[in-house]
Amino acid sequence: MKRLPAILIMLVITSFCSAQEVLTEGYIVRGKGDTLHGFIQEEVQKDLLRTIKFKTDNKVSASDIFDCSTVQSFGYAGGNIYRAIDFTNAAGDSAMVERCFAKLLVKGFYDLYSFLEDERTYFVVTIDSSAYFIFNSVFTSNGELRKEGNYISRLDQFAAECDRNDLNAERINYSEKDIAGFVTGMDTCLAPGIIPVNYYHKPRTKIEIMIFAGSLPLGGQSQFTGEAFIRLTYPQLSRKSSINIGIHYSNTLSVTEDLNFYNFVEKVSTRNIIFSIPATLQYNFTTGIVQSYIYAGFSGAILNQTTNQVNTTPSGFQQKFGIAFIAGLGIEGRLIKRFFVRADWRYELILQFPTIGIAYKFK
């Protein structure tokens, strides 16, 4: 299709657009112990592993970059605290000594930290100058066990002196909430005189409502699309991934040529009207003013099809309902405030035409 190269070129161009820098109020504690208040890059855990962007004045365009060798800790105003920690990473084929920024989850007799690397969550428990690395089982891309996780055996070892039913590591999930709760209870048991502090915060869910209307007239052919959906994102985990749930309407008129009963070429007009309730997972390649994206998912869809072709069985009007696979890609750019221009190309029951239109985002 002639439209495909043009859309792919647009995606490639926007993928190189610089991301819009988002800064949040916070502070850093440098190696010498002095504290600077200012603005830190948005809290996306995987981007905070070893370096952070910081500036004391949000009006200044350029940010300073600090790494975990020059900064002891940093924190977000009213939010999470991160510290530079040293540990031995034993999750891979060979043990490696590492240093990174990790999120403080529990402060007490034992301290608990977590960090995100390569889409995996890891934990580190520290006491005095000792650090214990905790990880879940690691599997290969084929689903085969590469290395058995140690979090159950390690936590059971820590809590061996506690006679409490709620400190059974085999009953907890491998999650920040559950392991933070376990370590908090363990600290209370092992050192009653030290009150542990649980800093765990549930990842904030960002909820946005967006409506979109677009069309693409192609002479005798045309496409109209209208949709409204709720977009759910977890900025602490990823600004680029989101879950979209909503309603979708499309009206596609396609014109082709075919031979009739008399072997004459005639134009065949087919109109496909789709109404669906989709749920998709979207990934944005960029986070700036202009963003390219892809998405995939499923929907409950109704297809109403009408055609003037007489040598088909059945002919005329058809209606189908079922579960449909969805895949699509597109580009959107912010115009002013909450208004966006958007180009979207979608497969849902049929390969639809690309549409270009206006989107509005509710806050």
DSSP 325-352: EEEEEEEEEEEETTEEEEEEEEEESEEP
Q: Report the C-alpha dihedral over residues 330, 335, 338, 341, rounded to 10 degrees.
A: -30
Q: What is the pLDDT of residue 240?
A: 83
What is the extent of the structural domain holding 287?
A: 206-362
Q: What is the pLDDT of residue 264?
A: 61
- Please give the structure tokens belonging to residue 271: 């109109």
Quick check: 287 and 303 in contact, CB under 8 A? no
Q: Name the pTM for this structure.
A: 0.69
Same domain assignment for residues 147 and 186: yes
Which of 43, 19, 41, 10 minimizes the C-alpha distance to 289?
A: 19
Q: How far apart are the first and last CA of the chain?
A: 38
Confidence of residue 91 (pLDDT cuts 50, 70, 90): confident
Q: What is the pLDDT of residue 339?
A: 93
**Using one digit for the tens of pLDDT, what is the confidence trace for 29-84?**
998 889 999 999 988 888 899 999 999 988 777 889 999 999 999 999 988 999 99
Number of domains in the chain: 2
Query: What is the CATH classification number for the domain harbouring 333?
Result: 2.40.160.20
Confidence of residue 147 (pLDDT cuts 50, 70, 90): confident
Same domain assignment for residues 286 and 334: yes
Residue after which a domain boundary falls, among 198, 232, 248: 198
Euclidean distance between CA atoms 171 and 164, whole angstroms = 13
Q: Does residue 45 lie in a domain region? A: yes
Q: Is the peptide bond before 203 cis (omega within 30 degrees of 0)?
A: no
- Where on the phi/psi map is residue 359: left (φ > 0), alpha (ψ -120 to 50), or beta? beta
Residue 30: partners with Cβ closer than 8 Å, 6 or more residues away: 36, 66, 70, 71, 72
Same domain assignment for residues 286 and 178: no
Same domain assignment for residues 166 and 289: no
Q: Does residue 110 lie in a domain region? A: yes
Same domain assignment for residues 326 and 298: yes
Confidence of residue 235 (pLDDT cuts 50, 70, 90): confident
Residue after which a domain boundary falls, among 137, 165, 198: 198
Residue 253 has pLDDT above 80, yes or no: yes
